[in-house]
Structure 1
Amino acid sequence: MDASDLRIALVAGNYNYVRDGANQALNRLVGYLLRQGAHVRVYSPTVAEPAFEATGDLVSLPSLPIPGRKEYRFPLGLPRRVRKDMEAFAPNIIHIASPDIASHRAVTWARDRNIPAIASVHTRFETYLEYYHLQIFEPYMRAGLRRLYQRCDALIAPAQSTVAVLEAQRMNDEIHIWSRGVDREQFHPGRRDMDWRRAHGIEDDQFLVAFLGRIVMEKGLDVFAEVIDRLKQTTPRARVLVIGMGPAEEWFAEQLPDDAVFIGQQTGNDLARAVASSDVLLNPSVTEAFGNVTLEAMACGLPIVATSATGTNSLVSHGENGFLSQRGDNRAMAEALARYAADPALAAAHGEEGLRRAKLRDWDAINSAVLDVYRSVIERRRKGE
């Protein structure tokens, strides 16, 4: 089956209105598919001023702001005008990228027409509940995810560690890996800029710990702050650089030392410069299915200190390109940071190993795996298997 034979309807809860790792991966995938000659139509909520320009044709879904997280929107389904548009587009595969009402409706629409549907898993949504003290609802969320994912012909996940969790949770019998790449023309050690550091009041001999990502509680902000507090007790010259923005920014600033540097959301070469100008990435999040920020830091030659979790475990090998700690072991993370601060040669060696691994991740080769999954499920459905 040629790529030009594919007609893909992609349904996503956030395609471009807020920038995050998941929707940037989706936009890269759509760009790759279009270059191969495939036909793609994206269905997602839209806003007047999106974070970046959408790749491909984008049809707006009705949506409402999510309570408490108004920057994100919740799709309300597939109204008649959207279903008519989808009928006219005549997809031969549906790809859903978020477990919401629109995705449920899209899978039902596909099953009613004997069209295969796949789902890409971008984050561990059920783990979010703990950060908002709603753990009691986790079994119900997991059951809802299972109902949606089992109605799909296949799942694609970004790392083997995530696949293992999905298999254990009985989400689907067929799960493939769609990993993540990194733009090595953008992210590389040559972006390191000591003048930029100095302009932000960071001295050359200070040990700069980076936080990179949306400033939201599910990124492990409380853990990050406690680890830094422990680190400062043994390494007073340590500093914090926060790259990103989000609704918990004020809370985060209150928890971190007064000399923490917040530079807001960065993009393009500005983002790469900020990452490369740091000395280590501290990533305590357990909610990612992959961890794009970890790979970007590796591509800049940074060692990684992180919580052992899905996604991260597929990128970081303990003692080789970073240090992993068990969830809740904040002391171990602080000790790992202090070790890097005291031993620049070790930090450099681990950074070099991370860079070597990052160089192996080519976006086109990675996205071709999704193309293979599309072809496989379409062929299987045609054969009636």
Structure 2
Amino acid sequence: MKVIQILPELNSGGVERGTLEVGKHLIENGHQSIVISNGGRQVEQLEAEGSRHITLPVHKKRLSSLKQVKVLRKLFEQEQPNILHLRSRLPAWLAWLAWRKMDPQTRPRLITTVHGFYSVNLYSKIMTRGERVICVSNSVKDYVRHNYPDVPAEKLTVIHRGVSPEQFPYGFEPDAKWLTEWQQKYPQLKDKYVITLPGRITRWKGPLDFIEVLAALKAKGIPAHGLLVGEPHPKKMDFFEEVKAAIKASSLERDITLVGHRSDLREIMAVSNVVVSCSTDPEAFGRVTLEALALGKPVAGYAHGGVAEQLDALLPAGKINLGDHRAMVNLLTTWHAAPPSVTQRQEFSLQSMLNAVMTSYTELDKAPREL
């Protein structure tokens, strides 16, 4: 098979990670993989793993982006892929507008993945236009069925995101060189109870809740140190300043470290005592929390969306009612005194995810066309 995946950019994020994983799997199994995006820091890895990357400006919400419709249609006609996989709303619209004018008997089969709880409107409905629609969690499937009841149930399939036990082995410990460099850069973490909130610094990821939790732990005498691991979006710098002001207002400048973007999140989580999820909006799945659990690290998280599904399966004790700071403080206090054990299980494996995606591709490729 030849598969084209399309998304806005290839920088950081779960959608981007999944795109690379599927591309690598296709190549390893003798298929062809093409990814269309505006580019980004992960293009080098994508191409090193055997996929082709085609750079097109499919990432900006503006009328001029419609010029890409003809470009995409010509590209699809030249490449003749078996599968066209749409992973984000704006490029999905551009690709769908190109696809629908192609010959229904020969055009590629269309798959979409609903990666999030998008605002409910016509713009978002494009993610349900696939001949098959992948939902990244049961929560996302429920969202689609509730908000878009005209989408046939048989088109929907749940494929949870997965983690590789080779990349995130249970009980993983960073090597001595990494540890030395980390300790030299962040000596303030020595003998501290390290609590990590990974993710881009945006309001809905809950860094302000995290700051309140840290302040309450410090007030109780817990030697906690918080790590915010992620970068702000260039357009969200005002909120980043708000976060820094909140840290200062809580007198936590020495107790919370803004680490920024890191490519070694696995190692950082491995040397943390706890990973938390404070997302005020539900995570569609929450890959990072699953990675932490795979490493054997306890996760305390607001129990909604995909994170609730993970904790139900792997660590029910980590579930916190949305916005209940006191409950999170009490749980982390308890865990400081008696760290919980995370059972080694393979509920959500990368191989299972990739096998399920490939099954969706092959079944749709062979299915009769609705002309």
TM-score between both structures, scaled by the size of structure 1: 0.80
Q: Unpaired segments of 5 or more residues in structure 1?
A: 1-5, 68-73, 127-140
Q: Is 2:243 the counterpart of 1:252?
A: yes
Q: Is 2:6 the counterpart of 1:25?
A: no
C-alpha contact (below 8 Å) 2:92/2:127 kept by paired residues: no
Q: Is 2:229 the counterpart of 1:271?
A: no
C-alpha contact (below 8 Å) 1:157/1:177 kept by paired residues: yes
What per-residue deviation string (whole Å, max 9, x for no partner) do you get for residues 111-156 of structure 1? 3332431111222233xxxxxxxxxxxxxx434322x134221211
| Structure-2 residue corresponding to 1:89 | 79
| Structure-1 residue corresponding to 2:168 | 187
| Structure-1 residue corresponding to 2:351 | 364
| Structure-1 residue corresponding to 2:216 | 230
| Structure-2 residue corresponding to 1:10 | 5
Which of 123, 131, 139 aligns to 1:153? It is: 131
- Give the superposition deviation at 1:293: 0.8
| Structure-2 residue corresponding to 1:290 | 285
Is the alpha carbon distance of 1:52 and 1:245 closer, same or farther for their aligned partners in structure 2, counting shifts above 3 Å?
farther
Mapping 1:84-163, distance limit 5 Å: 84-100=74-90, 102-112=91-101, 113-114=103-104, 115=107, 116-126=109-119, 141-146=120-125, 148-163=126-141
| Structure-2 residue corresponding to 1:334 | 329
The number of residues matched between the two structures is 344
Secondary structure of 2:305's aligned partner: coil
Is the alpha carbon distance of 1:318 and 1:186 closer, same or farther for their aligned partners in structure 2, counting shifts above 3 Å?
closer
Q: Distance in 2 between matches of 1:309 and 1:369?
A: 24
- Give the superposition deviation at 1:216: 1.8
What amino acid is the match of 1:109? Answer: A
CA RMSD of aligned residues (A): 2.8
| Structure-2 residue corresponding to 1:375 | 362
Q: Is 2:68 the counterpart of 1:78?
A: yes
Q: Is 2:157 the counterpart of 1:176?
A: yes
What per-residue deviation string (whole Å, max 9, x for no partner) do you get for residues 206-257 of structure 1? 2111011111222122222222222222244111122222244443233231
- Give the superposition deviation at 1:198: 4.6
- Give the superposition deviation at 1:178: 2.1
C-alpha contact (below 8 Å) 1:197/1:277 kept by paired residues: no
Percent sequence identity over matched residues? 23
C-alpha contact (below 8 Å) 2:189/2:225 kept by paired residues: no
Q: Distance in 1 between matches of 2:322 and 2:59?
A: 34
Is the alpha carbon distance of 1:319 and 1:361 closer, same or farther for their aligned partners in structure 2, counting shifts above 3 Å?
closer
Is the alpha carbon distance of 1:305 and 1:363 closer, same or farther for their aligned partners in structure 2, counting shifts above 3 Å?
same
Q: Unpaired segments of 5 or more residues in structure 2?
A: 234-238
- Give the superposition deviation at 1:21: 1.9
Is the alpha carbon distance of 1:80 and 1:119 closer, same or farther for their aligned partners in structure 2, counting shifts above 3 Å?
same
Is the alpha carbon distance of 1:64 and 1:95 closer, same or farther for their aligned partners in structure 2, counting shifts above 3 Å?
closer
